[in-house]
Amino acid sequence: MGEKAVRRRPGPLAGLLVAVVVAAGCMGGGLDQGEPEQPRPRQSGEPASPGADATRADGTTSVAEFKQDFSDAVGIAESYWTAQFRGSGEQFQPIRRVVPYTRSGEVSCGGEGLPRNNAVYCSAGDFIAYDVNWSVAAFRQVGDAFLFYLLGHEYAHGVQVRLGIRYNFTIQQELQADCMAGAYIGDNVRSGTLTLAEGDLDEFREGLLAVGDDPDQPWFAEGSHGTAEQRSESFFRGYEKSLDACGLG
């Protein structure tokens, strides 16, 4: 019923680029402008079972294709979170806008111009913005499944704002967003909305291992996202067990 299968394209994994993607991928600033609500997300009982019959398309991964896939990911996120909130008797306000940009400073968040090579959720304007050229380069090298992780993670920051969740340490906020991204993907795979191709789970796994903080970085440092193991553990906890595993209260 209105399910939308998203076709996957394969792509070789480039760990270094992935590291750049997510390390820079989240400014996480200004997480204090939300309207607190307290829904209790529903749980989804079925185990993960990525479809083995996914269609995989070959060929170029163009800017247009990227924008389409990103737009699909946003639409799925809106439906997903709307359903979760509705399940708790709450109304979900989708993130207001998703803004692709190409130039440094073209888009501002809270009066600060966004740099190139970045993707962020900006709570000041309630939007997600991403450098489209940089994202397309990542898309080509890393593979498009990771796009859903990236969007899922940034979208989760918008949901945290709506839920009034604000932890003392960046790392808590980030690991929870990883878990929520995992739940968003896992639940949509279970419902058949999203179809993963063979190798996509490995792509997530290897990608997450590549985006961990430097082992020398203190966990409590501003900007810490978690070690590779922590990020991977959080993502797959959400992927396998849904939102109940993410500590949304």
Q: Which residues bind Zn ion (CB under 5 A)?
A: 26, 28, 174, 177
Minimum CB distance to Zn ion smaller for 44 or for 160: 160
99 closest CA partner among 71, 74, 129: 129
**Which residue has the closest beta carbon to Zn ion?**
26
Q: How far is CA 228 from the centre of its chain?
A: 16
Minimum CB distance to Zn ion smaller for 48 or for 95: 95
Contact 148, 142 (CB under 8 A): no
Closest separation between CB of residue 3 and Zn ion, Å? Answer: 28
Minimum CB distance to Zn ion smaller for 9 or for 146: 146
The two tokens of residue 173 are 């906020």
Closest separation between CB of residue 243 and Zn ion, Å? Answer: 17
Closest separation between CB of residue 237 and Zn ion, Å? Answer: 16
Nearest-angstrom CA–CA distance, 181 and 152: 4
Nearest-angstrom CA–CA distance, 12 and 179: 24
Closest separation between CB of residue 212 and Zn ion, Å? Answer: 13
Minimum CB distance to Zn ion smaller for 131 or for 174: 174
* Cα atoms in the Cβ-side hemisphere of radius 13 Å centred on 151: 29
Minimum CB distance to Zn ion smaller for 28 or for 152: 28
Contact 132, 67 (CB under 8 A): yes
Closest separation between CB of residue 157 and Zn ion, Å? Answer: 6
Tell me 56's DSSP state.
Answer: B
